[in-house]
Amino acid sequence: MNFWKESGYGFADFAELPLENMLIFIPAMSREDIIDWLCWNDHNGIYRDEQSIKELGNVMSRDEGIEIMIRQIEDGRPADLRKL
C-alpha cells in the first residue's frame, strides 16, 4: 500500500496537519512512505537505502524515519504552533 496514493494527502498537506492528526496516520505509513516524504522535504538528505549504505554504512529504520519526519515537520512550524 502506498499511503500517499491511498490517503489522498500530498506531502505538504500532511506536514500542515495538527500533530495529533499526524500521529493517527503515521502507523499506516510504510518505511518507504516515510522515506518518500523525507526525500521530498529534504532534497539533500540521505534517506534511500543505496545512498545511505554507500555514505553511512547502514540504512535508516522505520522508527528513525518517523522521528526525523516529526522533527522536520515541527522544526518547520512557527514556534507558537509546535507541540513537541
CA distances from 60 to 2, 20, 29, 31, 65 (A): 19, 24, 15, 9, 6
Residue range 35-67, pLDDT digits in tens: 999 999 999 999 999 999 999 999 999 999 999
pLDDT value of position 76 = 85
pLDDT value of position 77 = 80
Domain boundaries, the chain: 30-77
Dihedral (CA of 2, 23, 65, 45) sign: positive
pLDDT value of position 84 = 47
Phi, psi of 72 (to 5 degrees): -65, -40
What is this structure's pTM? 0.88
pLDDT value of position 55 = 95
pLDDT value of position 78 = 72
How many helices (H) and strands (E) the chain has is answered by 6, 0
